[in-house]
Structure formats: structure tokens, C-alpha cells
Structure 1
Amino acid sequence: MLAYRRLCLIIYCAAHCPINLAGMWANSLKADDYQALLDRGWRRSGCFLYKPEMERTCCPSYTIRLKANDFICSKEHGRVLKKMQRFLDGELDPQVGSPQRKASPTKRSLSEPSNSPTSKVSKVSANEFQEATCPNFLKEDEFICCLSSKINEAIDTYFQGVILGSTVQLPKAVVKTVKPQVKKKVGEAMQKNKAGVQDLVYTCNISFQIVAAVRRALPKEKSANQTEVLADLSPNSVAEKLVMTMERLGGLAGFEVKACNGHLNFYSAANPAMQNHTGAVVPVQASDKTSRSKQSSVNKISAKHPQKRKSLEIRMSTSHFDPEEFALYRKYQTKVHKEKTITESSYRRFLVDTPIVFVPPKSGDNTVPPCGFGSFHQQYRIDGKLVAVGVVDILPKCLSSKYLFWDPDLAFLSLGKYTALKEIDWVKTTHEHCPSLQYYYLGYYIHSCNKMRYKAAYRPSELLCPVRYE
């Protein structure tokens, strides 16, 4: 090895200041030796090994790792996994966008119901909503999404003519399932309610959010019209007006909506909906004629948008040049990082060349994983198409994530987070065959760099002490 010092500019530095690195070239390196270097704060770029000099930098770079079996999946990570599954199941349309609401300048008091037809911004019409509730088994998250869209339609319709000002951005509704313990508390307060608390299924507190958003946005010195609006503005009044608007727009099939202390509560009408073992909502069948008519409508919709399942395949191979991978890398660097000149030689130096000597697996040897030790490329393919490549090093104690590039056309899938979760799962699985391999190394963590904050979300992570190296 030939060691030397150099001064370079690191792109992650928030202050764009130079960071001193200790560096050396390596032609051949054992997996155990590189593992030891990782645990001393070193990393590699191709065959070049480097380590930030912590005492001479304004943005300290700490080695960060995660013990895979202790990993706690966050809600955000769960959403990423569900989104990918929906995409593979053919249920996610990447072209669908979120509607944006804009206040109309037409004068109308909050106490006056809207006479306008259904909102043009709405994604789900009344008929479409009723048809959507007809299939015998509807996934609960999709059903809740339909309820939220219905409330958003009522919000857009009702507030279309209310003078709120251009600075007011109305929030979007989020419908939640009523938990059993909440039903019990509500039941104690509503024992005399003939409707029966056991029929309460969903609730939404959007009225409180609307009132808060309007009060924050309106200026201290209000006009007469704005003063009139605020006089009628309360969660209770907003909830009541939204219920009236939803009824005028066609109501909800199988549900009764009521305003209760500012909340929108959804009751199953005469117990028409029950939960099956999968958590799906099963509405009671209407008359045969009505049922056949609605089912026919659903079949027509399904015929227009047939669901086609996609297959995801993850392939692992030792580090080598692949023209298909290079084409994806060039597309990624051009569109995501705005690089103009990308050569094959620079790609090879960065992601193909490696000094780590490959160690093949041995039958009956649990000290080496089934893939062996060395540098690898993990290919993610959907229906055979290459969509992401993770460049990793498999070492005695860890999987070290070096770099990832993905198809910019699939940015909505959060492939960076998804592949990290799959790499963590890989470590968990491999740990059963190779007990020493139990960590997931995420590279460097720089707290002042927004681009690296995501690494702290993989909990509980550990930062390497630059003094004691523990």
C-alpha cells in the first residue's frame, strides 16, 4: 500500500469547506482487514481507502452502523414497504397526483350551504364512491382513502365560495379507525344513544384543523367579511356543515355520518358493515337487482383498469462491469445529481474496482455466508427490468452499504429506503447461517448534512467514537 495525504472538497459539507482526508491505495485486501479498517473510521471508493481527519474538519463524519436484529421499523418505513407492495400488486398508479385547493373569491358566509355542484377538484364522485364500497372484500386502507376523498370533496364544495383569502391552505382529511378502547369511553358517555356506540367505525377531526388553519392565516386586522366568517367558525359548525354537504353530494353507501363535538363520526347503518378476518369491510348485500347492478359497474371499472401483478427479483453477483448497470448509473447520475460527463472508466474506478479478495463459501462452514466474502452488486429487477443496483461489501461482521443508484422514473417508490430495508433483512437472514455477520453499516453520518439525516431513522443505530473506536 502507498499512503499519502491530500486536501479535497466533500460535496456533503454544508459550508462547502475543504475536508482533510488521510488516504491510501490498496491493490489487495483481506475481508478481515477491511472490516478492521471500517471499525477505525475508514471507507473505500474503488481501490482508494480514505478516512476524514476529524480534528481538522467543521463537519465530523462518524461511521454509523445498525445491529440488524435490533432494528425497529418506523411508520415511514412501513409506508415504503406497503407502497412497493401496492405497486407490485398493480394497485398504485404513479400518475395520480394530489389535488390542490384554492380559495374562491366569491362572497359567502360560513353559515350558508353551498349550492354549487360537486367539486371539480374531487378525485372520487358520489357514484364512484358507492360503487367502490360494493366489492365483498375491500382492503381497509383503500376504504379509508375513499372516505377521506369523500370528505375532501365536501370541503372543496362547501368552501368554494367562502372568502378566506389566498393565504389559507385548507388541510386534507385523514380518517382513522375507532379503537375498541375509544368506543368503550364514548359508550360510557352515550349510553342513552339509540344508535349504539358499537356501530361507530371511523372518525375524522378535520374540522379542528380547518379552524386552526383559517385562524392562523387571517391577518390581525380583518375585513368585515373575514370577521363575519370567524363569527361562525368553530369545529362544531364546520363539522355540521360538512355533514350537510356530504348528504347533498349523495351520502355514503352503508354509512351514516354524524357531527359530534367537532368530529365527523361514521356509523354503520343498521350494522351493515362487519369486519372479516382480514380487516376488510363487508357491506350487507342489497336487493339482488341492486347488487347485480352495482357489481356490474364495478366489473366495468375493473375492465378499464385491470390489475397486473409485477414480480420483484433481487440478484447478487460479485463486482464486475455490466453494461446494463452502467446505463442505469448514467441515467441516475444525470437526472438526480445533474452530472454532465459520465465515463465508463470513472464508473469502473468508483463502483467496480475493489481491493477486497473474494472468499468463496465452504460447505458446512458457518464462518462464511452462502455468498462468500467480498464486493457485490445487488440488482433489483421488476418484471425483469433493472430498477436499482446496490453496491455492497460483505464482511465477517457486516454488510457495508457503499452506494445505490436507481431508476429516476420510479422515484415515487423511495427505492433508497426500500433497498436499505431489504439489505437489513438480508443481514437478519444471513446471520442465521453466519452468526458473526450481524451489523448493517450505512457509511458516514454527518449531522449537519440534510442528505444524511435519513440514516438516523434506522434505529437503534450506533456511532463510532473517533477517539476510543468503540
Structure 2
Amino acid sequence: MAAGGSYSIVEYFGGDGGYRCGYCKHETGNFSHGMWSHNMTVQDYQDLIDRGWRRSGKYVYKPVMDKTCCPQYTIRCHALNFHPSKTHKKTLKKVNRFLSKGEMPVERHDEGREGLLEDIKGRLKPFSSILQRTVAIAAGKTQSFLSGEPMVSAHEEGVHPPPQDPLEADHSDVQDISTSPDTDTTNSSAPTPAREDAAPAPEEKTPNVTPKPGKGADPSRPLGRKAKDIRKERRLQKEQQKQPEAKSSSVDPSPSKSSSNQPKSLEEFITESLPNDPLHRLEVRLVRSNPPSPQFKASFDASYQVYKLYQMVIHKDPPDKPTESQFKRFLCDSPLEAETAPDGPDVGYGSFHQQYWLDGRIVAVGVLDILPSCVSSVYFYYHPDFSSLSLGTYSALREIAFTRQLQKQSPKLAYYYLGFYVHSCPKMRYKGQYRPSDLLCPETYTWVSIERCIPRLEISAYSRLNENAHEGDACALKELGRVLVLHRRTVMPYVAYARKRKGSNDEKEVEQYASLVGQTCAERILLYRA
């Protein structure tokens, strides 16, 4: 229960039907459980996403991992230990060149997003008709409960769960991750000819024998060596020669960059090469979206216009599809309560928009949830004119840096959640490049490093990631009777509700719901019963 004494209130929809998959395009292969959240505390949502749930607007869903065609694994990045890859650094330098000098990269197709575009388009369609019917009754349900008025169920109104998983975050761009700069490109199988700077062959014990044809290399000549090893040896020799010179040249020499083994931090890469007076000024502003702050309200139309352009140009939506009401439902409405805590970040917990202002106008927006243990990325959109800047990658890096900033105020807030990792869809594997990162085991709900998961996922799209066969779900359902329900404006355990509702046949549905949210959440969250 939240600090203010309020409960999370949900309606469970189940998830027996199969729907079109946005990843592999299977017409009936997508399976997920869903529930409508009228109200949600940040701790309850934190616990739910740590059991594989995600939200879109007020709809909360969980893929049926062992049944759906493209299993979606919750992924989190260890923000404090994150080090940008070669591609990440290139993106940061590209944006900084644009800000400092106005250099705009050559336009290119945003291949990394392609896998999600049709997925989103398919998901929006069923939401539009369903949520139009629910938005009116959903808005007042929590207030009805608090004021003592009877709540109207979505089931009573004839509303059913959306047949597709809702929107999820996407921070991809062209993500051809380069190999390590230390990768040796020489042909290791070919012998390297002896060079003048190579170590001489020993003169003693060298037999003066001419080998017969086909019997191997000439033992009278030096052994072949890799060019990489020779270069390394030469580098060491030069460093050894410089050491005595450095000692005698100065009493207190200033350390050079090469002498430091500390890599640059993410924050240093973000601000690297930016002059004091750049050609373009970029400002990142955090505004609370629920309840909407004055800053959010003042910038709402400008933010919506960027979203509309993004949908039309990037997603190829017709002009009448990305409506203002749709934008509100999916990217502004949130069930999360705004909360503050003594050990929490100064901005508080809840739902926010992180706006990217370039020279006084919004060019991109990241939709975020700030939770007790993480920053969770919900969605990201940008002005199509700036698509060549790889803003998807850039925003993810900024959000990781933001998580690190919040962690200084709230020590346990140390993770950045990127949504779902879909290994069976190659275009969605880019999320695994933000390392170190973990995937959530779908059976034990424990975290496993992605390096250990990938070999298993290469064999099977669905896999139990936890290798310990004896470990189970620590929050597995044990007592159905302790599940909290809300019935006729009264909070009661399920055992009391079952006695009151003689002949009630919803035990199977309640048991399924409780097993999915876990015993801990089931005893805190109110399950609405008509």
C-alpha cells in the first residue's frame, strides 16, 4: 500500500485467445495475460515488472512465455556499471558534432525500428475501439471507490481486454554493433614471415639439416609469428625506452591520458567536445505527466505534434489516426500514483516525460516511469527531421545517465529497464548491447546475466534461464484465501468473498491472476469483483 494509504486496484482479463504477432507476423501466435489498472502504487508496479508485466497507458500485460510465438524477456541494465560500446560512442559524437558545428549526418533508413513499426500499428488498432469505451468509466473508478460510490466494472460495460500487447519502449536505430577494436584482422592461419625487428632465432642447438620436401618448415629459419604479437612486442620495447627519459625530464610530470587506465564515463562522452557556445543548444527537461504538471500542460500541444509527425512519417499512419485522445491514452495516462519518499529521488516517483528541447522547441520525448529500484522506459518518439542523428540510441544513453544521477539521491534505484528483449526477432536484439544487463527468468523470476542466457535462447526461443533446477518462484501462490478483493466498495480476503458469494465460480480465474502477480502482490493489490 502506498504511503498515502491507497490501494492498487485492478481488473483481470485473462489471456486465452491468440492474436497477431507484431514480430514474426504469425496471425494467431501472440498470447498474453492482461488487466486494467484503475490505480497503482509504484512499489506494486515495481514488483509486477519484476514478474514480467509491463504497462501501456493503464493496461498492464504479461506475455504467456511458454505459449507465445516470440517470447519477450524483461531486460534490465546495470546503470552504475554501464560502459558505452563503440557504436554508442559514435552516436554520442555524432550528436555532439551536430550541436557544436551543425553537421547533420547523411539520411539513412532507421532499420532497427523496422521490427517494431508493424507491431505498434497492429497493437493500436484494437486499443482504439476498446479504450474509447473504457476511458469514460475508468477515469472515475478510483474516485468512486474513495468517495463511496459503487464502481462499474469494465466487464459490466461489455469491455474486453485488447487482443494485442500494447506499446513498449524502443530505443533502436541502425544497430550493427562493431567488434572490439582489439580484434585482429590478420589471417592467423598463415605463417608470418621473419622480420628484421623480430627476435633472432637461437644459434645454439640448431641442427644443420636440410628438410626433405613435404616434411614441414625449415628448422634453420626463425619460427613464424603473428603480426599482432610482433606489434605488441615493439610497443613494449618503446615504452621501456621512454621510461628512463620520463623520469629524468621532470620532477612532477602531469599524467598523460594514455597512462591512465580509467575509461571515460558515460557522462564525459555525453558532454565531450561540446564548446561553451555551441551552434545548437540542447536542453533535457523532466516534466511529470500524471498528474500533469503545469510545465507538462504548457508543452502538451508541442509534444503531441511531434508524436503525430512521428507516427505519420516513421509508422506510415494516416493523418487522422494519431489523434490527441489516442496520444493521451497511450503515452500520457498512467495508473501510477505520484509518490515521494525520504530515501527517494528529489523528483519523486511516478510517470514522466523527458523532453528534448533543441533551440527552444521539442524535438524528441522519452516516456518514463521512475520506480523504487529503476527507471523504466515506456516509449520514445522524435521529430522525423532528426532521424539521421540516431536519437533512439542517444536517448537510451541519456536515460542511463539519468538513472545514475537519481541513484546518487536514492541508492537502491540502480537499474534501467528497457522493456522486453526478443531474441527470436533479430531486430529487437539491440537491447542486449546495453551491458552489463540481465534477463528475467520466466519460471523463477530471478535475474540472469544476458551472456549466460543467449546460448540457451539460441537453442530455444523459450527457455528457463535459471540454471539451478532446485530453485523455484519465491513468491509463488500459497494461500488463495488471502488474496485481496474489492467487492461492493468493501476490501476483503478472497475466503470471505467466496463465503459471501455462494455459488461463485470465479475461483479458477482468481487463482490464475494470483499466481501471475505472486502471493506478495496478491495480498496488497485489490482485485475488483463485480
Q: TM-score range with shorter-chain normalisation? A: 0.5 to 0.7
Instruction: Count how many residue pairs are aligned between Structure 1 and Structure 2.
Output: 269
Distance 1:333 1:318 in 2: 23
Structure having the higher strand fraction is 1
Distance 2:382 2:315 in 1: 12
Distance 1:394 1:186 in 2: 60
Match for 2:390: what amino acid? S
Which of 4, 10, 14 lines up with 2:13 in the alignment? 4
Which of 359, 362, 365 lines up with 2:339 in the alignment? 359
Could you tell me which residue of structure 1 aligns to residue 311 of structure 2? 333
Match for 1:312: what amino acid? L
Could you tell me which residue of structure 1 aligns to residue 284 of structure 2? 314
Distance 2:107 2:310 in 1: 23
Which of 303, 313, 323 lines up with 1:343 in the alignment? 323
Could you tell me which residue of structure 2 aligns to residue 446 of structure 1? 422
Match for 1:336: what amino acid? I
- 1:96 is displaced (CA, Å) by 8.6
- 1:91 is displaced (CA, Å) by 5.0
- Go from structure 1 to structure 2 and tell me whether the alpha carbon gap of 1:188 and 1:86 turns closer, same or farther (over 3 Å shift): same
The alignment's C-alpha RMSD in Å is 2.7
Are 1:400 and 2:372 an aligned pair? Answer: no
Once the two structures are superposed, residues 406-464 of structure 1 have per-residue CA deviations (whole angstroms, 9 ceiling, x without a partner) of 11111111000000000001111111110010000000111122331110111121100
Distance 2:12 2:26 in 1: 28
- Go from structure 1 to structure 2 and tell me whether the alpha carbon gap of 1:327 and 1:465 turns closer, same or farther (over 3 Å shift): same
Match for 2:325: what amino acid? S
- Go from structure 1 to structure 2 and tell me whether the alpha carbon gap of 1:56 and 1:424 turns closer, same or farther (over 3 Å shift): same
Following superposition of structure 1 onto structure 2, how do residues 249-268 of structure 1 map, counting pairs within 5 Å?
A: none
Quick check: 2:54–2:419 contact (8 Å CA) kept in 1? yes
Distance 1:95 1:57 in 2: 39
Match for 1:354: what amino acid? S
Once the two structures are superposed, residues 113-154 of structure 1 have per-residue CA deviations (whole angstroms, 9 ceiling, x without a partner) of xxxxxxxxxxxxxxxxxxxxxxxxxxxxxxxxxxxxxxxxxx
Match for 1:87: what amino acid? F
> SS at 1:80's partner residue?
helix
Could you tell me which residue of structure 2 aligns to residue 371 of structure 1? 347
Following superposition of structure 1 onto structure 2, how do residues 26-425 of structure 1 map, counting pairs within 5 Å?
A: 26-94=37-105, 188=197, 309-319=279-289, 320=292, 322-340=300-318, 341-360=321-340, 365=342, 367-425=343-401
Once the two structures are superposed, residues 71-102 of structure 1 have per-residue CA deviations (whole angstroms, 9 ceiling, x without a partner) of 121000000000111111015144699xxxxx
> SS at 2:39's partner residue?
coil
- Identity level (%): 45
Distance 2:32 2:439 in 1: 19
Distance 2:89 2:307 in 1: 27
Quick check: 2:55–2:61 contact (8 Å CA) kept in 1? yes
- 1:15 is displaced (CA, Å) by 3.8
- 1:50 is displaced (CA, Å) by 0.6
Distance 1:408 1:450 in 2: 24
- Go from structure 1 to structure 2 and tell me whether the alpha carbon gap of 1:448 and 1:309 turns closer, same or farther (over 3 Å shift): same
Match for 1:428: what amino acid? R
Match for 1:42: what amino acid? W
- Go from structure 1 to structure 2 and tell me whether the alpha carbon gap of 1:426 and 1:187 turns closer, same or farther (over 3 Å shift): farther
> SS at 2:22's partner residue?
coil
- 1:308 is displaced (CA, Å) by 5.8
Unaligned runs of 5+ in 2: 1-9, 109-180, 182-193, 199-254, 258-276, 447-530
Distance 2:388 2:32 in 1: 36
Match for 2:73: what amino acid? Y
Are 1:20 and 2:31 an aligned pair? Answer: yes
- Go from structure 1 to structure 2 and tell me whether the alpha carbon gap of 1:368 and 1:409 turns closer, same or farther (over 3 Å shift): same
Extract structure 1 runs of 4+ deviating beyond 6 A: none
- Go from structure 1 to structure 2 and tell me whether the alpha carbon gap of 1:413 and 1:278 turns closer, same or farther (over 3 Å shift): farther
Could you tell me which residue of structure 1 aligns to residue 442 of structure 2? 466
> SS at 1:56's partner residue?
coil
- 1:358 is displaced (CA, Å) by 0.2
Quick check: 1:14–1:448 contact (8 Å CA) kept in 2? no
Distance 1:427 1:186 in 2: 52
Distance 2:56 2:86 in 1: 33
Could you tell me which residue of structure 1 aligns to residue 433 of structure 2? 457
Distance 2:23 2:382 in 1: 20
Distance 1:445 1:351 in 2: 21
Quick check: 2:104–2:388 contact (8 Å CA) kept in 1? no
Quick check: 2:35–2:60 contact (8 Å CA) kept in 1? yes
- 1:354 is displaced (CA, Å) by 0.4
Quick check: 1:14–1:449 contact (8 Å CA) kept in 2? no
- Go from structure 1 to structure 2 and tell me whether the alpha carbon gap of 1:25 and 1:45 turns closer, same or farther (over 3 Å shift): same
- Go from structure 1 to structure 2 and tell me whether the alpha carbon gap of 1:417 and 1:327 turns closer, same or farther (over 3 Å shift): same
Quick check: 1:3–1:24 contact (8 Å CA) kept in 2? yes
Match for 1:85: what amino acid? N
Normalised TM-score (structure 2): 0.48
* 3-12 or 454-463, which deviates more: 3-12
Distance 2:307 2:100 in 1: 27
- Go from structure 1 to structure 2 and tell me whether the alpha carbon gap of 1:96 and 1:333 turns closer, same or farther (over 3 Å shift): closer
Distance 1:81 1:309 in 2: 16
> SS at 2:367's partner residue?
strand
- Go from structure 1 to structure 2 and tell me whether the alpha carbon gap of 1:441 and 1:464 turns closer, same or farther (over 3 Å shift): same
> SS at 2:408's partner residue?
helix
